[in-house]
Amino acid sequence: KTLASRYPVARVVLDSIIQAIPGPREAQAYRIPRFWRGDTTSEAGKALAHCDPKGPCICLVGDVQPDRHASTVAAVRVFSGTLVRARPLRNVRTGKEEKSLQIGISMSKTRVDLPEVPAGNLAFITGFKDIAVGDTLVEKGTEGVAPMRGLQYPTEPVVTYTIEPARLSELGAIQKPIEEFVATDPALEFEMSEETGEMLLSGAGELHIEITVEKLARQGINVVLGRPMVLVREQLTTDGEPSEAGGSSVSMFRVQAILTGPNRSQDSFGVVIDLDPVSGSWIVDASGRLSPYDDVVEWIREAFRSVSHSGPVKGERMRRLGIVIQKCDIKYEAPETSWREVTQPLIDASRASIMSGRPIVLEPWIRLEISAPEEHVGTLTSILVKRKGQVLNIDSERSLFRIEAEIPVRESFGLANEIRTSTSGWATWGAKSGGYRDIRDPDIRYD
């Protein structure tokens, strides 16, 4: 108590946060126009900009965690209105309306139940069965409100493992728990083949997958990893030429494939139809003929995913692909019109434009920072060179030397054990994404 009274660190830190970080009302005034695509002059738009607790309830899901007692616990930011227990909320992504069982705020590891939580607060909510990170929840009467832009995670899966249960008797029982766990980590992907029944788990690297398996084991889900497979990607080297397909009795599309990047915002090209923030790919409408809420737009999203998930070079997923619909004439008369009549011209035109952009195959690299005593530096650099890595820099920090290097992901399997064994545990290291490089010429980077 004496030490706390002399050095009130907690109070100083909290006071500094209050002084340095803007409050919800001040922050939302300039944040909402930047990441919400709706009409800021509407009732909902004004309520969001002013963080109005009396406006319509609009929340953004920031995290989802499984819970053995509450099934699923979602962390949400209440941007507008007041979150009230048991009041129905509609998920903009799924269109489903559900009621919360519990709401409140989290204080460290403790959840405090409350009857309502006003705008500007971070809250937890239970009772929703179909909910994911990035979902927008709205109250009844505001169904037409545009969704919030979800949280964007730059890390994308680079390695895939086949997995199977430790005991074959658990084969039918592990799929759902794994899917629920993967939903809490945007860098993970889980897929089960309908034809072979093979289960595939993809993550940001070998260590990421190993940590995931350990966490699953703590929840009683024991799996065995198969051999790893590196996920290569396809990418344009330049913008493609505009291409047109369809016409007469079927729909017509004129599109252009472009190479996206941090300086090329999708909003500057048109109305966003679909967006994958992980791969940096999107499709927009610049023709003025489409609305994100039209029935036929869901078919267009499916066509875009078909194109972006199967590149023209090796059938691998594409990254940094932008499709701009410059002109379209959609012949859609439900229920007579088939999916193929609308989407095939879009797929054909998109692939033709992509081919004119000279796509190539890229492989992922990782960047390493290794710290070790001087006597181990030679051993570590030899290991990196043997694994086709590139040593970027070596410098000293007191009694330790720091090595910065990059190696292909395909050469990184077993690296942790080799470093640990060769240095008798003296080396420490960290890893992060090293971007992508041309699989034919590793000296050409595509970050």
In this prediction, residue 95 has a pLDDT band, given cuts at 50, 70 and 90, of confident
pLDDT at 104: 94
- Average pLDDT (272-291) is 87
* Structural domains of the chain in order of their starting residue, each with its CATH number: 23-139 (2.40.30.10), 159-231 (3.30.70.870), 235-358 (3.30.230.10), 364-446 (3.30.70.240)
Answer yes or no: is pLDDT of 169 > 80.
no
Contact 100, 125 (CB under 8 A): yes
Percentage of the chain exceeding pLDDT 70: 97
Interior angle at CA 436, CA 434 and CA 442, nearest 5? 100
Q: Rounded to whole angstroms, how far apart are CA atoms 277 and 296?
A: 23
**Least confident span in 25-29, 36-40, 96-100, 251-255:** 36-40
DSSP class of 338: -
3-state class (DSSP) for residue 257: strand
Nearest to 384 by CA among 363, 366, 362, 361: 366
Interior angle at CA 90, CA 86 and CA 110, nearest 5? 50
pLDDT, one tens digit per residue, over 313-336 is 999 999 999 999 999 988 777 666
Contact 327, 337 (CB under 8 A): no
DSSP class of 264: B
- Beta-strand ranges (E) seen in 231-381 are 233-235, 243-246, 252-259, 271-276, 281-285, 321-329, 360-373
- b/e code 307-335 from CB counts within 10 Å (16+ = b): bbeebbeeebbbbbbbbbbbebebbeeee
- Omega of the bond leading into 373 within 30 degrees of 0 (cis): no
CA dist 167 → 119, 212, 223, 251, 419 (Å) = 48, 18, 8, 51, 32
- CB atoms inside a 10 Å sphere around CB 441: 8
Residue 318 has phi, psi (to 5 degrees) of -100, 150
pLDDT at 316: 93
In this prediction, residue 2 has a pLDDT band, given cuts at 50, 70 and 90, of confident
**Least confident span in 108-117, 190-199, 323-332:** 190-199
Contact 276, 308 (CB under 8 A): yes
Answer yes or no: is pLDDT of 166 > 80.
yes
User: Taking the chain, what is the end-to-end CA distance rounded to the nearest angstrom?
Assistant: 51
> Which burial class, exposed, middle or buried, applies to 295 when counting CB atoms under 10 A from its CB (0-12, 13-18, 19+)?
exposed
Greater model confidence, 193 or 251: 251
| Structure tokens that stand for 141 in this block | 């009467």
Nearest to 166 by CA among 209, 212, 225, 210: 225
- CB atoms inside a 10 Å sphere around CB 75: 17
Cβ-proximal residues to 169 (8 Å cutoff; 6+ apart), any chain: none
- b/e code 375-411 from CB counts within 10 Å (16+ = b): ebbeebbebbeebebebeeeeeeeebbbbebbbbbbb
Nearest to 237 by CA among 165, 321, 337, 328: 321
How do strand 159-165 and strand 199-203 relate by DSSP bridges? antiparallel
pLDDT at 335: 67
pTM above 0.75, yes or no: no
Q: Round the CA-based radius of gyration of the chain to a whole number and report it.
A: 25
Mean pLDDT of all residues in the chain? Answer: 88
Q: How many helices (H) and strands (E) does the chain have?
A: 10, 25
In this prediction, residue 151 has a pLDDT band, given cuts at 50, 70 and 90, of low
pLDDT at 254: 96
pLDDT at 275: 85
